[in-house]
Structure 1
């Protein structure tokens, strides 16, 4: 699982009347349409975990963070999803010196994606042919883009890895691009050295995930109440 797009910084309008807002955790909960946003968050995170399982079963290479998760899994007695959860909580500890505050969506991200990954791995098996494995990989990457757009569009807080990226960029003054690249190269190299799988899927994910999220995001951002309406009177 990898960071997708900036989650807490203001973004340009992506569709008429729709844009990502910069909100504190409290403001996220007061911004309106909470039942719809909670449902979208849950669906997005579950599909995200399912899409990760599809890429794993494709066995043609993982995204950088999942290369790391897979590498760690080979050295501990945990399932893939359990490693995702543990690493997520450890990444949250790195938020403390960055003075980042997790939102409800951040905490849900840590737990639900790992659970969904293991649940999906339990019901799908790796196909035998290369064509079928390629189809599973491509389907997983596309679904991952949609799922990422869904949970980002719910505007209930960034994932732990997203927040680490944006927090480090803010504290160091470096660009999001540089921080993201540095983080992903680091976890990719460490994961590979630990035994994680690098391959065509790694390249496909790196090239495709940004455009896919950008494609789906205009249709998934939930319009929020005006900032003045989201604060207590």
Structure 2
């Protein structure tokens, strides 16, 4: 029963994250680094949605992580990849575009807060990392470089490639980069889970 509760919490967290991602994209003020890349792919590949681009990127990242560091994806990693992509496309079709600049900023700020909270919910379930977190750990293991440098380099790389391919970069991109961390920390406080901040790799489920 405890495992079932953890999986439910994990899935709810991923759905919350998906809502936040869609809000930041719909704000149209600049997306998060990985979303800049995902959106840029949709501009060059017919019939590709943002959610499917996220899934394909996640699959590529999982395979790359396995080949360079033999990091096998957990069931949580696979669910993360599939569910977030599916939910992004579903929610994109439901949430309307903001009609004024004020609503754009409401979407952006709300999206950042929601993503931070959603991440806190799903990581404290300890059911596995996301594909990009697995890649972070694979590169850290392979090259023995601090994980924060790896994370920053990956996000910067995704941002630059996405921008060159026509992805949306703007003030929102900066706000997201600066805002997610603090919102995650606040959310972990609210959940009473400060001790779990660095437990991304734990897989109790």
When normalised by structure 1's length, the TM-score is 0.79
- Is residue 79 of structure 1 aligned with residue 49 of structure 2? yes
Shift of 1:200: 1.2
Shift of 1:180: 0.9
- Within 1, Cα distance between the matches of 2:37 and 2:3? 34
Instruction: Select 2:99's aligned residue among 106, 128, 134.
Output: 128
- Is residue 67 of structure 1 aligned with residue 36 of structure 2? yes
- Within 2, Cα distance between the matches of 1:43 and 1:132? 26
Instruction: Select 2:163's aligned residue among 169, 183, 192.
Output: 192
Partner of 1:101: 72
Shift of 1:101: 2.0
Q: Rg: which structure is higher? A: 1
- Within 2, Cα distance between the matches of 1:179 and 1:220? 28
Partner of 2:4: 35
Partner of 1:173: 144
Q: Structure 1: which 5+ runs fail to align? A: 1-31, 224-229
When normalised by structure 2's length, the TM-score is 0.90
TM-superposition CA deviations, 1:178-233 (whole Å, max 9, x none): 11111111110000000100011110111111111122124165x9xxxxxx8xxx
Partner of 2:119: 148
- Within 2, Cα distance between the matches of 1:169 and 1:92? 15
- Within 2, Cα distance between the matches of 1:195 and 1:130? 22
Q: Residues 154 and 220 of structure 1 are in contact (CA less than 8 Å); yes or no, is this contact kept in structure 2?
A: no
Local SS of the residue matching 1:69: helix
Shift of 1:138: 0.5
TM-superposition CA deviations, 1:103-147 (whole Å, max 9, x none): 221011000001111111101121121001100110011000001
Local SS of the residue matching 1:41: helix
- Within 1, Cα distance between the matches of 2:187 and 2:139? 27
- Within 1, Cα distance between the matches of 2:141 and 2:182? 24
TM-superposition CA deviations, 1:156-195 (whole Å, max 9, x none): 1100001101221122111111111111111100000001
Evaluate the alpha carbon distance shift between residue 44 and residue 220 of structure 1 in structure 2; reply closer, same or farther with a 3 A threshold: farther
* RMSD after superposition: 1.7
How many residues align structurally? 193
Q: Runs of 4 or more off by more than 4 Å in structure 1?
A: none
